[in-house]
């Protein structure tokens, strides 16, 4: 019974990642700012509950074995010896982040952000060392796909309605054409187009989660369909329909970077699949060709339909004007991040926005945001040492994955492209590092990469 509760709690947790249900506990100053505040999310509570199952499962195992003291010591030694080189760099990065707090103007916020880093590091170990191995990938990916389908329905209704739909209890942002600060753009005729949010705080975050949902669909549909008894013709049809809705909603976010990376990654995978011999064998299989055909035709139908209905909006959004606000703000944040000087520990973990408020006190309130580049953000907050160690963490993580898997299977290439896509998105946005839903997306991909390195999944 406890095992069943744990399993479905984990699946519900994955489903609820995009929900913005939270209690704001504290914010600095007279006006609320996301990055100078402290919030407790429902997903935090769910995650702690899952950690408790993990902990008590280990305790239960301790009392069930014949020689508990001897076995538990061996297990501890094994876990320590099994820590990868890149995980040591991750732990060093956490230590550097703690030291950097000495430079922070708001120590309270900095310690909270440091605890969030620790929380998601534990989440990474939970995924890679425990839960994926215990419950497998099929159910986990189905939960993410279900969450993406639910978000897609909400996003499509929002886009058609051009306003929020009253799901404030799920954390839906209040959006309509009369509210300033809403993610939108204007057509040449002056019409304002509001981008879809789902229940996330920004369309770019929704796009990131839908990207992960599409990956979950492709992975189940191509690689895991024969690995689990729950997959049948009905589920296959349901997943294809779900994927088309997710893809339509994905376009409705108008998140240029994420959409561009999605298509680039898809084309790279297809091109490499046709070039590399062992990948070609997989593609040449009759069942694989059939599934690829279904995906290509359904995807093409969504692309054509969306462009026919919203051609003017798509054409307007494709153009990147250097004078538009989003571009100008990105340049501004980069310039400000580089002002933090060449120091070892930066301005303090989670303190970029607080530092910016002190440095530029007369900006409009919406302009106080982190630099839209997670690498520059880490550099500014944690200094040269922090950035160097973080890059070493990523470098050894990727090299370990490539060395162990040798990219022998098509699925290995898929997970590598997914993770690399998020790393590339990190050059143009900060949500993967600073916001609750984005952190789940990023650390889930890190956990998947490590799990694939250690296990012959498919």
pLDDT (mean) for 262-277: 82
Spell out the residues 6+ positions from residue 295 whose beta carbon is closer than 8 angstroms to its own.
Answer: 218, 221, 240, 243
Rounded CA separation 302/246 (Å): 10
At residue 212, the pLDDT reads 96
Q: Which is more confident, 236 or 160?
A: 160
Task: Give residue 201's Cα distance to chain centre.
Answer: 13
At residue 273, the pLDDT reads 72
Rounded CA separation 436/421 (Å): 19
247: containing domain: 140-319
Q: Within a domain: residue 1?
A: no
For 235-259, the pLDDT digits (tens) are 777 888 999 999 999 999 999 999 9
Q: Which is more confident, 96 or 456?
A: 96
H/E stretch holding 400: helix 374-405
H/E stretch holding 103: none
Q: Which is more confident, 168 or 286?
A: 168
For 386-433, the pLDDT digits (tens) are 999 999 999 999 999 999 988 888 788 889 999 999 999 999 999 999
Average pLDDT score, the chain? 87
Q: Within a domain: residue 81?
A: no
At residue 71, the pLDDT reads 52
- Under the banding of pLDDT at 50, 70 and 90, the label for residue 223 is confident
- Under the banding of pLDDT at 50, 70 and 90, the label for residue 275 is confident
pLDDT (mean) for 201-211: 96
Please check the confidence at residue 124 and state whether its pLDDT lies above 70.
yes
At residue 444, the pLDDT reads 96
Asked if 414 and 218 count as a contact pair (C-beta separation under 8 A), the reply is: yes
At residue 262, the pLDDT reads 94
Please check the confidence at residue 355 and state whether its pLDDT lies above 70.
yes
Q: Within a domain: residue 441?
A: no
Task: Give residue 181's Cα distance to chain centre.
Answer: 23
Alpha-helical segments (H) within 253-373: 256-275, 277-284, 286-309, 311-318, 325-338, 352-359
At residue 329, the pLDDT reads 87
For residue 137, give the 3-state DSSP assignment.
coil
At residue 309, the pLDDT reads 93
At residue 243, the pLDDT reads 92
For 319-348, the pLDDT digits (tens) are 877 777 778 888 889 988 888 767 889 999
Q: Within a domain: residue 153?
A: yes
For residue 426, give the 3-state DSSP assignment.
coil
At residue 233, the pLDDT reads 67
Please check the confidence at residue 457 and state whether its pLDDT lies above 80.
no
Asked if 52 and 64 count as a contact pair (C-beta separation under 8 A), the reply is: no
pTM for the full predicted model = 0.92
For 28-54, the pLDDT digits (tens) are 777 888 999 999 999 999 999 999 999
Q: Which is more confident, 457 or 357?
A: 357
Please check the confidence at residue 230 and state whether its pLDDT lies above 60.
no
pLDDT (mean) for 228-233: 56
Q: Within a domain: residue 444?
A: no
For 290-316, the pLDDT digits (tens) are 777 888 899 999 999 999 999 999 988
At residue 81, the pLDDT reads 54
Rounded CA separation 196/164 (Å): 9
- Under the banding of pLDDT at 50, 70 and 90, the label for residue 232 is low
As for how many domains the chain has, the answer is 1
- Under the banding of pLDDT at 50, 70 and 90, the label for residue 109 is very high
At residue 283, the pLDDT reads 63
Q: Within a domain: residue 16?
A: no
Q: Within a domain: residue 196?
A: yes
For 8-34, the pLDDT digits (tens) are 999 999 999 999 999 999 987 778 889
Q: Within a domain: residue 345?
A: no
């Amino acid at each position: 019974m406890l095992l069943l509760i744990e399993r479905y709690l984990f699946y519900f947790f994955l489903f609820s990642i995009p929900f913005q249900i939270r209690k704001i506990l504290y914010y600095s100053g007279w006006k609320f700012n996301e990055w100078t505040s402290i919030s407790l999310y429902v997903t935090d509570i769910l995650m702690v509950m899952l950690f408790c199952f993990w902990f008590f499962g280990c305790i239960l195992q301790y009392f069930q074995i014949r020689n508990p003291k001897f076995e538990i010591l061996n297990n501890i030694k094994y876990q320590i010896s099994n820590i990868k080189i890149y995980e040591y760099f991750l732990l060093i990065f956490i230590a550097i982040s703690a030291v950097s707090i000495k430079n922070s103007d708001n120590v309270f916020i900095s310690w909270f952000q440091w605890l969030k880093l620790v929380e998601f590091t534990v989440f990474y170990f939970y995924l890679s060392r425990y839960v994926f191995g215990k419950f497998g990938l099929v159910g986990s990916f189905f939960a993410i796909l279900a969450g993406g389908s639910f978000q897609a329905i909400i996003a499509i209704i929002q886009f058609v309605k051009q306003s929020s739909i009253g799901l404030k209890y799920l954390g839906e942002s209040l959006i309509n054409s009369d509210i300033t600060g809403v993610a939108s753009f204007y057509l040449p005729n002056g019409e304002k187009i509001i981008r879809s949010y789902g229940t996330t705080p920004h369309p770019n975050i929704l796009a990131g989660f839908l990207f992960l949902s599409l990956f979950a669909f492709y992975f189940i549909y191509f690689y895991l369909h024969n690995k689990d008894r729950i997959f049948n013709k009905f589920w296959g049809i349901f997943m294809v329909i779900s994927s088309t809705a997710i893809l339509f909603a994905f376009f409705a976010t108008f998140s240029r970077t994420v959409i561009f990376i999605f298509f680039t990654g898809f084309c790279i995978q297809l091109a490499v699949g046709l070039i590399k011999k062992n990948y070609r064998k997989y593609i040449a299989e009759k069942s694989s060709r059939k599934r690829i055909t279904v995906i290509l035709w359904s995807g093409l139908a969504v692309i054509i339909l969306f462009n026919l209905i919203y051609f003017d909006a798509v054409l307007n959004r494709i153009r990147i004007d250097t004078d538009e606000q989003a571009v100008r703000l990105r340049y501004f944040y980069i310039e400000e991040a580089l002002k933090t000087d060449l120091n070892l520990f930066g301005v303090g973990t989670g303190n970029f926005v607080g530092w910016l408020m002190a440095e530029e006190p007369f900006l409009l309130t919406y302009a106080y945001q982190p630099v839209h580049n997670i690498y520059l953000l880490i550099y500014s907050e944690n200094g040269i040492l922090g950035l160097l160690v973080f890059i070493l963490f990523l470098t050894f993580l990727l090299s370990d994955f490539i060395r162990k898997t040798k990219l022998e299977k098509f699925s290995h290439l898929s997970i590598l492209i997914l993770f690399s896509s998020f790393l590339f998105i990190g050059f143009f946005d900060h949500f993967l590092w600073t916001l609750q839903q984005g952190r789940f997306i990023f650390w889930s991909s890190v956990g998947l990469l490590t799990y694939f390195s250690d296990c012959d999944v498919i």
